[in-house]
Structure 1
Amino acid sequence: MLFKTKNIILLPLLLFGCFNIYAQDSTLVGKTIQWDLVKCIDYAKKNNIQINSIRLNQQTSQQQYLLAKAARLPNLSASASETFAHGNNVTSYNGTLGSRFTTQGSYGLNSNLTLYNGNAITNTISQANLSVQQANYAIVQQENDITLQITQAYLAILLDKENLIYDTDLVNTSIAQTKLEQQRYNVGSVARKDLIQLQAQQAADQYTLVNQQNTERGDLLTLKQLLLLPTDSHFDIFKPDSIAPDDTTASPLREAEDIALKNRPEVKNSQLGVQIAQYGVKIAQAGYLPSLVAGAGLSSGYVSGNQAGYFSQLNSNFYQDIGLTLSIPIFTKRVVKTQVEEAKINVEQADLTLSDTKIVLSQTVERAYLNFQNAKSQYDAAEVEYKYNQESYRIASEQLKVGVASIVDFLLQKNLFIQSQQAFVQAKYNVILTLKIYDFYKGIPIKL
């Protein structure tokens, strides 16, 4: 894993959400996959369950927005009832009791339209619309988090692959040096202890190479599981022809911070949260105001046994009504006042959330800037150290070939070279990653 032995400067930044679950794509079962960084990020954004869950929340918010708009429309309801009754009634011709069944029915249409309710409908529509926008920013925010996770995992594998190149070269060099020393030992020009020391170094180099191969396989598995690719798929990343921190300059901290505070989705999300809470106050305050509702209805009915027929009764009993209902709240037992006060508290809470979001983001950008500055200093120092040790190791190797260098001095210089090489490669990827993250907070997409 990248930076797992030292200089773990980005772990706290990237730990959050590192165990997100991704939806598996069954079309990739048994396939050989080799993706670049952009493809990995795009795939994660598409298949991440957490993002898709937020997308469903956004659809729910959209439905709530449509429902709020529909409150402006009149409602319409129909009703119909049929009643069957049995009783003993006095007959009209002889005055005796007789059993009798009767039926009656009633039918109606009713509609209501809210004409005024303290602008509660208008404010609810505006509030619901902001909730839709807030859900959109939540999606972008989660996509940003996943982008950072994928980038770290991807660069860890690139670091492994570059280390493998160097470690393989060291093993090949050790084999050649040991073979040459074996020839010298066979003719009696060197002591056995010198040969054994080179053989031990060759074994150590081979062990380092095996460990690095295992590390690469482990980091590939980490990214594969992060993407939740099928178990039996064969996954690898695309290695660019060259990757180097060509431009290791960063814009001023204040500039990056200002851009982040203006454009980052977490800030916009919190700003919308404040506006949503403010609309909540207006909606609650509408409870103090009167409401005016227009209503209209149509109704008719019939009773069996009536001399008039069924349709004649429906026509005779056909009523139409239209009217206005004015409701004026006078005493609500503090219900409305409590709702208003709670809504105001929600506004204060939303303001605090916005302030906290800005503070956390500013601190995160500042930390990213400091991480880059530290990584840049380490890279510059490691580059110089590596060049000198590389040249010293080359000289020591040439001296060993001609037999003018002791094995002890050679192995000492070789170990210094290996250490400086590892530090340089790690510092290179560290500075690349920290710069990518710092630029990402300015809205610059991550790509290699």
Structure 2
Amino acid sequence: MKHLFQIVALITLIFSGTAQAQQNWDLQQCIDYALENNIQIQQQSINTDYYQNELQQAKNNRLPSLSGNLSNSFNFGRSLQYDNTYADYNSNQTGASLSANVPLWNGFRLQNSVDKADLDLRASLADLQKAKDDIKLYIAAAYLEILFAEELVQVAEDQLEITKLQIDRTQKLVDAGSLAKGSLLEIEAQQANEELNLVNQQNSLQLAYLNLYQLLEIASPDQFKIEKPVLSVVKANGSLLNSMDVFRNAVKIRPEVKSAEYRLGSLQEQVAIAKGSLYPSLTFGADYYNEYNNKYFYSPTEENPNPGVISFGDQLKNNDRYGLGVNLSIPIFNKGQVRTQIKNAELQVLNQEYELQSTKNTLRKDIEQAYTNALAALKKYMASNKAVESTQEAFRYTEEKFNVGMVNTVEYNQSKNNLAKAKSDLAQAKYEYIFRTKILDFYNGNPLNL
């Protein structure tokens, strides 16, 4: 009975493992996994954390600074006494101090530094979003490539199945003496070629999966399969017909554009920071100091010519000193360094303005390219769809004539190859169109899904 339970448990484990191995992932699952595990995104997240720390530090720089100091010294030989005279003795002196500084005015450099750090953080967050958007597009492209490869495998399998059926019919006609054996050999040769084509298409499918595995960085690719979605009918949509509207909307929301805009603002703040060095700076400061010396004695008097050491408590009461003050620093001449910093900062602003415009131009070109490719794919799909219909009918007619010996094997194979190519072209145009329109939708702010 014990062995029976063990066998049942083993079978259950095997079936559960098989079920896990056959689990299919849809596009959203692939995207979510990639966003969670992609190394480039993790690195960009670390970069964002760095700029978050920089912003916090810029804010903290506006706070007062407080520092303490403890010192202990051993003095030998001639030393200053408590009554401000010198004598030869050895002593041990301990001192403590506190000092604080508060910036009151520095040409708005502190606030401008905070604004600059905030813009740097926003640019980093936009870069992180851009990295996520890129991986989404890469995953979608790899996902559609697998679907395309699966369709080509299906086309190859269908063609091979037709050939196998035709071999059976031809074998019967050869056995009956209606066809020469050469016709059978030619079709068998065609079968071998189609089997090779099927192997090649299956290899292409595995390579497409490998590409997706590497993008996802999956540790166990053997347990991964994608889910085939129900794709909508291919037709012209709003994204295809309004590409310039897509660009006008994308330039407002795309992270790469926002990142360039934030960096432009950051460099403009850098100019303001550099100009702040031309102004005086005002600082408020306060400090406190106290000390204890084991050889500080009371001053001798007639009543007490040999006084003892001043106690620790009395020294703390008598030796403390503190002060308050303000410091005004006025820049007069610094070898032209501030002027040079301002000019260099202004040059960086000018360069970033060109960078921003270049980013917008690249975005426009990408959208126009996606639009052009989608339009071409749509036209190709419509033409391929008609070609499939016509070649399907032509193949049916050729097959009927071949079965009665009216056409030879070469013509039959040529007709079937034409049908296979038409189906392949149709599949390629379909997935090319879907991907390009998804890019346009994505630029338009719509979620990426199938």
TM superposition score category, shorter chain reference: 0.7 to 0.9
Name 2:60's counterpart in structure 1: 70
CA distance in 2 between counterparts of 1:422 and 1:172 reads: 17
Q: Secondary structure at the match of 2:101?
A: strand
Pick one of 324, 344, 347 that aligns with 2:346: 344
Point out where structure 1 has 5 or more consecutive residues left out of the alignment.
Answer: 1-29, 90-97
Partner of 1:442: 444
Paired amino acid for 1:337: R
Match of 1:400 in 2: 402
Distance 2:392 2:141 in 1: 28
Q: CA deviation at 1:422?
A: 1.3
The 3 A distance-change label for structure 1 pair 244 and 209 is farther
Question: Which residue does the alignment assign to 1:200?
Answer: 189
What amino acid does structure 1 have at the position aligned with 2:128?
Answer: I
Residues 1:264 and 2:254 are matched in the alignment: yes
Q: Is 1:366 matched up with 2:368?
A: yes
Percentage of matched positions with identical amino acids: 33
Instruction: State the shift of 1:47 in Å.
Output: 1.0
- Aligned equivalents of 1:242, 1:313: Cα separation in 2: 89
- How far did 1:297 drift? 1.0
How much has 1:408 moved relative to structure 2?
2.9
Q: For 2:324, what is the secondary structure of its paired residue?
A: strand
Q: Among residues 154, 177, 197, which one is paired with 1:188 in the alignment? A: 177
Q: Which amino acid in 2 is paired with 1:185?
A: V
Deviation at 1:58, TM superposition (A): 0.9
Within the alignment, does 1:146 sit opposite 2:135 as a pair?
yes
Q: Which residue of 2 aligns with 1:80?
A: 70
* Aligned-pair Cα RMSD in Å: 1.8
Deviation at 1:233, TM superposition (A): 3.9
The Cα offsets for residues 340-374 of structure 1, whole Å up to 9 and x where unpaired, read as 11111111111111111111111111111111111
Shift of 1:397: 1.8
Mapping for residues 234-273 of structure 1, pairs under 5 Å = 234-242=223-231, 244-248=233-237, 250-273=240-263
Q: Secondary structure of 2:90's partner? A: strand
What secondary structure, in the 3-state scheme, does the structure 2 residue paired with 1:447 have? coil
Counterpart CA distance in 2 for 1:99 and 1:434 is 93
Structure 2 unaligned runs (5+)? 1-19, 80-86, 298-309
Candidates 27, 41, 59, aligned match of 2:49: 59
Q: What SS class does the counterpart of residue 424 from structure 2 fall into? A: helix
Q: Confirm whether residue 281 of structure 1 aligns to residue 281 of structure 2.
A: no
Opposite residue 334 of structure 1, the aligned amino acid is: G
Partner of 1:416: 418
SS at match of 1:405: coil
- The offset of 1:404, in angstroms, is 3.6
SS in 2 for 1:224: helix
Indicate the SS of the match to 1:142.
helix
Equivalence for 1:211: 200
| Match of residue 167, structure 2, among 178, 200, 213 | 178
Q: d(CA) in 2 for partners of 1:88 and 1:335? A: 48
Task: Determine if contact 1:79/1:107 at 8 Å carries over to the other structure.
Answer: yes
Moved more, 118-127 or 369-378: 369-378
Paired residues of 1:244 and 1:432 also in contact (CA < 8 A): no
Contact 2:112 2:272 in 1 (8 A): yes
Secondary structure at 1:288 match in 2: coil
CA contact (8 A) 1:288 1:336 kept: yes
Q: For 2:98, what is the secondary structure of its paired residue?
A: strand
Q: 1:167 aligns with which of 145, 156, 178?
A: 156
- Cα distance in 2 for residues equivalent to 1:427 and 1:284: 56
1:372–1:438 CA contact under 8 A, matched in 2: no
**Equivalences, count:** 411
The CA distance in 1 between the partners of 2:92 and 2:377, in whole Å, is 91
TM-score normalised to structure 2 length? 0.87
Give the letter for the 1:309 counterpart.
Answer: S
Q: 1:104 touches 1:301 (CA, 8 Å); kept in 2?
A: yes
Larger Cα-atom Rg: 2
Is the 1:248–1:376 contact (alpha carbons within 8 Å) kept by the matching residues of 2?
A: no
Task: Tell me by how many angstroms 1:87 deviates.
Answer: 2.8
Partners of 1:245 and 1:430 lie apart in 2 by 11
Go from structure 1 to structure 2 and tell me whether the alpha carbon gap of 1:163 and 1:244 turns closer, same or farther (over 3 Å shift).
farther
**d(CA) in 2 for partners of 1:291 and 1:67?**
20
Q: Cα distance 1:367–1:241, how it changes in 2: closer, same or farther (>3 A)?
A: closer
Tell me how far 1:34 sits from its aligned partner. Answer: 2.3
> In structure 2, the residue corresponding to 1:332 is in which secondary structure?
coil
Letter paired with 1:395 = Y
Per the alignment, residue 93 of structure 1 pairs with none
Deviation at 1:401, TM superposition (A): 2.9
Q: What is the rounded CA distance, in whole Å, between the counterparts of 1:380 and 1:223 in structure 2?
A: 29
Instruction: Give 1:138 shift.
Output: 0.4
Task: Call closer, same or farther: CA 1:137–1:192 in 2, change over 3 Å.
Answer: same
Q: CA deviation at 1:428?
A: 1.2
What is the aligned partner in structure 2 of residue 290 from structure 1? 280
Question: SS at 2:224's partner residue?
Answer: strand
| Residue deviations 1:370-424 (CA, integer Å, cap 9, x gap) | 1111111111111111110011111222233344433233222112112211111
Q: TM-score, normalised by structure 1?
A: 0.88
Whole-angstrom distance in 2 between the partners of 1:99 and 1:233: 88
- Matches of 2:56 and 2:231, distance apart in 1: 52
Give the drift of 1:276: 0.4
- Match in the other structure for 2:320: 318
Would the aligned equivalents of 1:271 and 1:354 in 2 still touch at CA under 8 Å?
yes
**How far apart, CA to CA, are the structure 1 residues paired with 2:420 and 2:222?**
35
- 1:230: Cα distance to partner? 0.9
Alignment deviations for residues 39-86 of structure 1 (CA, whole Å, 9 cap, x no partner): 111111111111111111111111111111111211111111111122
Question: Cα distance, 1:264 vs. partner?
Answer: 0.7
- Supply the AA of the counterpart residue of 2:61: A
Equivalent position amino acid for 1:150 in 2: I
Counterpart CA distance in 1 for 2:396 and 2:291 is 108
Deviation at 1:288, TM superposition (A): 0.6
| Structure 2 counterpart of 1:426 | 428
Report what 2:307 is aligned to: none
Deviations 1:225-248 (A, max 9, x none): 221111464221111245542455
